[in-house]
């Protein structure tokens, strides 16, 4: 068995190694004293060695691929034929007897402490897959060795066109023996009728071309359970430990007959605001000093039946007392033993990675900020009936608004058709972005007063620049001006209480582009398809079968 397949079995907690000695397979588990395979008879005596190997192989496939008994029986028949053996015990009844007993009696235990894991306990399932093996396979089987940052053709040598044009990337990546990865932590609900969620740690390689970067998403860890992981340190520790090893020792691979070694730098952490505060070990956005990027304390105001924290400009400054730094954050963490200090609760587990900047390297994600944040917020302000008494309410024009939107015929570059805003409960992030950049202004000009159209145009102009494939520094300056004027306009046109955290984060997007390149090169969009694949792989309402 090759190493990749063996890792898959180990990651799924299959305790049967088909390469083990047959006598070893019949021994009792040294920790739990439960036979690995207990069928009610003496395996080594009643089943010939070759038949036992066939059984173990098919058992591993069934557990790994969640196949039915009928499929397992058919696979066994094929294995029996190919191996030239005659298996008398191949009936479905026989297989059900073996598999049911084996699955019921096979213990699952931790590889490190050998403590038994209770299958019935509703504590979630956590798996970790080595990144080094995945990186090696990609660099051996694709042209990843031909680093994109070296072989790409720039449109304008003075423009920012890729993450490798950013200030922070240039600080970390100095030679051809080093590559970098971004990682994402973002939960996704599995079922509409329960709180069950999947939380994967996904990685992408920055030195791949844009097509391959989206194609080859790496899965480092995945957690499945009710709500989110309670202990972020334990959740991220396997990834963090491997990140340190990859930075120090790298990984080796063979390309065109030659051996190479690449060290790996962990660059950006990409996640939504809730996960970002957990990873950074800081206060959530609805608490005092809830912004992990600046020292704006926020302001608690009454909103609806409760309170909300807003982040209005302070004398024209969106960052309050200034931007946070990595060094100051560590000082705040050390001083937070008894009480939070400036919104910092403690030292993040990511600080153990050498040279990792817990502020700049854990930046704003524009998919959550703009698409699922600002666009969703303002559609609610315009059309939700709870705002019917407000001057910015246009709910009586929603039918006309949607009529214009759905009449558009998108070009081939736009993958989805326009969606009406009357039913926006399940509108996805990319649909909000398409609405913002392609449809919103033409429709608003026909339905909204001019002052609201002009104000929204500031957001459209600013974001349109920051997602361009080639951005000049002068354009970044103009985009920053547009976004700051948009934030100020929210206070003037809608009211101070609507300067939400996502509106506040707009001021950080131009800094993000200067540090990391155009917004599209480092966003959560690239991980969305992979998350959907993970969600689709869960086919049991009761959880994931280990």
Structural domain spans, the chain:
3-105, 122-271+349-361+524-546, 282-347, 366-523
Q: How many CA atoms lie within 13 A of 184 on its CB side?
A: 27
Q: Tell me what pLDDT residue 89 has.
A: 53
**If pLDDT is split at 50, 70 and 90, which confidence band does 74 have?**
confident
- What are φ and ψ of residue 223, in 5° steps? -120, 135
pLDDT tens digits for range 498-534: 999 999 999 999 999 999 999 999 999 988 877 777 6
> What does the alpha-carbon distance between residue 503 and residue 343 come to, in Å, rounded to a whole number?
19
> What does the alpha-carbon distance between residue 246 and residue 450 come to, in Å, rounded to a whole number?
55
Residue 196 or residue 317, greater confidence? 317
Q: Tell me what pLDDT residue 370 has.
A: 97
pLDDT tens digits for range 298-309: 999 988 788 899
pLDDT average, residue stretch 336-354: 90
- Give me the chain's average pLDDT, please: 82
Q: Is 144 exposed, middle or buried (0-12, 13-18, 19+ CB in 10 A)?
A: buried
Q: Mean pLDDT lowest for which of 122-136, 186-200, 252-266, 427-441?
A: 186-200
User: C-alpha 372: how far from its chain's center?
Assistant: 15
> How is residue 416 annotated by DSSP?
S
Q: Is 155 exposed, middle or buried (0-12, 13-18, 19+ CB in 10 A)?
A: exposed
Q: Tell me what pLDDT residue 229 has.
A: 79
In DSSP terms, 269 is beta-bridged to 183
pLDDT average, residue stretch 222-227: 79
Q: In this structure, are residues 183 and 202 in contact, taking their beta carbons and an 8 Å threshold?
A: yes
| pLDDT over threshold 90, residue 345 | yes
Q: Tell me what pLDDT residue 445 has.
A: 95
> What does the alpha-carbon distance between residue 198 and residue 185 come to, in Å, rounded to a whole number?
10
Longest dimension (CA), the chain: 87
- Among left, alpha and beta (phi > 0; psi -120 to 50; other), residue 321 is alpha
> What does the alpha-carbon distance between residue 203 and residue 138 come to, in Å, rounded to a whole number?
13
pLDDT average, residue stretch 234-258: 94
CB under 8 Å to 458, separation ≥6 — which residues?
482, 483, 485, 486, 489
Q: Tell me what pLDDT residue 450 has.
A: 96
Residue 404 or residue 81, greater confidence? 404
pLDDT tens digits for range 153-185: 999 999 999 999 999 999 998 889 999 999 999
Q: Tell me what pLDDT residue 395 has.
A: 93
Residue 333 or residue 103, greater confidence? 333
Q: Tell me what pLDDT residue 520 has.
A: 92
pLDDT average, residue stretch 464-489: 97
- Cα Rg for the chain, rounded, in angstroms? 27
Residue 8 or residue 383, greater confidence? 383
Q: Tell me what pLDDT residue 336 has.
A: 84
pLDDT average, residue stretch 449-455: 97
Residue 539 or residue 135, greater confidence? 135
> What does the alpha-carbon distance between residue 297 and residue 291 come to, in Å, rounded to a whole number?
8
Q: Where are the beta strands (DSSP E) in 258-356?
A: 258-270, 299-303, 306-310
Q: Tell me what pLDDT residue 35 has.
A: 36
Q: Mean pLDDT lowest for which of 300-314, 382-396, 439-453?
A: 300-314
Tokens representing residue 383 in the block: 């059309």
Identify the three-state secondary structure at position 526: helix
- What are φ and ψ of residue 202, in 5° steps? -110, 150
| pLDDT over threshold 80, residue 104 | no
**If pLDDT is split at 50, 70 and 90, which confidence band does 84 have?**
low
Q: Tell me what pLDDT residue 130 has.
A: 92
Length, in residues, of the chain = 546
> What does the alpha-carbon distance between residue 103 and residue 298 come to, in Å, rounded to a whole number?
54
Q: Is 523 exposed, middle or buried (0-12, 13-18, 19+ CB in 10 A)?
A: buried
Q: Tell me what pLDDT residue 323 has.
A: 95
């Amino acid at each position: 068995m090759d190493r990749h397949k063996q890792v898959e079995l180990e990651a799924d907690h299959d305790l049967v190694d088909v390469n083990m000695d047959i006598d070893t397979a019949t021994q009792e588990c040294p920790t739990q004293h439960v036979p690995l395979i207990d069928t009610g008879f003496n395996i080594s005596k009643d089943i010939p060695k070759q038949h036992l190997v066939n059984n173990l192989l098919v058992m591993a496939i069934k557990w790994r691929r969640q196949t039915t008994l009928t499929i397992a029986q058919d696979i066994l028949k094929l294995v029996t034929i190919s191996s030239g053996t005659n298996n008398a015990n191949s009936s479905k009844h026989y297989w059900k007897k073996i598999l049911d007993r084996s699955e019921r009696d096979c213990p699952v235990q931790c590889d490190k402490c050998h403590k038994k894991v209770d299958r019935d306990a509703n504590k979630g399932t956590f798996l970790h897959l080595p990144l080094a093996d995945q990186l090696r396979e990609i660099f051996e089987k694709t042209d990843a060795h031909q680093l994109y940052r070296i072989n790409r053709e720039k449109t304008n040598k003075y423009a920012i066109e890729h993450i490798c044009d950013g200030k922070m990337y240039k600080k970390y990546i100095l030679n051809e023996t080093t590559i970098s990865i971004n990682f994402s932590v973002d939960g996704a609900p599995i079922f509409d009728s329960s709180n069950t969620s999947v939380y994967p740690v996904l990685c992408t390689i920055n030195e791949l071309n844009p097509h391959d970067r989206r194609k080859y998403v790496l899965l480092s860890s995945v957690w499945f359970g009710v709500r989110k992981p309670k202990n972020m340190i334990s959740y991220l520790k396997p990834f963090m430990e491997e990140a340190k090893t990859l930075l120090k020792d790298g990984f080796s691979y063979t390309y065109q007959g030659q051996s190479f070694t690449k060290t790996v730098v962990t660059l950006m952490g990409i996640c939504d605001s809730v996960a970002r505060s957990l990873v950074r070990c800081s206060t959530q956005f609805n608490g005092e000093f809830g912004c992990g990027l600046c020292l704006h304390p926020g302001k608690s105001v009454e909103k609806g039946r409760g309170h909300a924290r807003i982040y209005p400009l302070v004398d024209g400054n969106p960052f309050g007392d200034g931007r946070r730094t990595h060094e100051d954050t560590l000082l705040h963490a050390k001083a937070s033993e008894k009480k939070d200090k400036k919104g910092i609760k403690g030292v993040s587990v990511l600080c153990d990675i050498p040279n990792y900047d817990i502020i700049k390297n854990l930046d704003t994600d524009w998919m959550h900020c703009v698409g699922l944040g600002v666009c969703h917020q303002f559609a609610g302000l315009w059309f939700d009936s709870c705002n019917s008494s407000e001057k910015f309410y246009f709910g009586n024009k929603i039918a006309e608004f949607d009529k214009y939107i759905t009449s558009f015929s998108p070009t081939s570059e736009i993958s989805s058709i326009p969606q009406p805003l009357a039913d926006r409960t399940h509108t996805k992030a990319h649909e909000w972005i398409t609405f913002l950049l392609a449809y919103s202004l033409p429709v608003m000009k026909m339905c909204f007063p001019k002052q609201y159209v002009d104000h929204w145009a500031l957001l459209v102009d600013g974001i349109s620049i920051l997602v361009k494939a080639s951005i000049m520094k002068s354009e970044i300056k103009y985009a920053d001006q547009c976004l700051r004027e948009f934030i100020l306009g929210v206070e003037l046109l809608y009211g101070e209480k609507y300067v939400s955290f996502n509106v506040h984060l707009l001021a950080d997007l131009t800094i993000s582009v200067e540090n990391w390149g155009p917004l599209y090169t480092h966003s959560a969009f690239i991980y969305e398809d992979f998350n959907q694949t993970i969600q689709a792989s869960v086919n049991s309402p009761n959880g994931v079968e280990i």
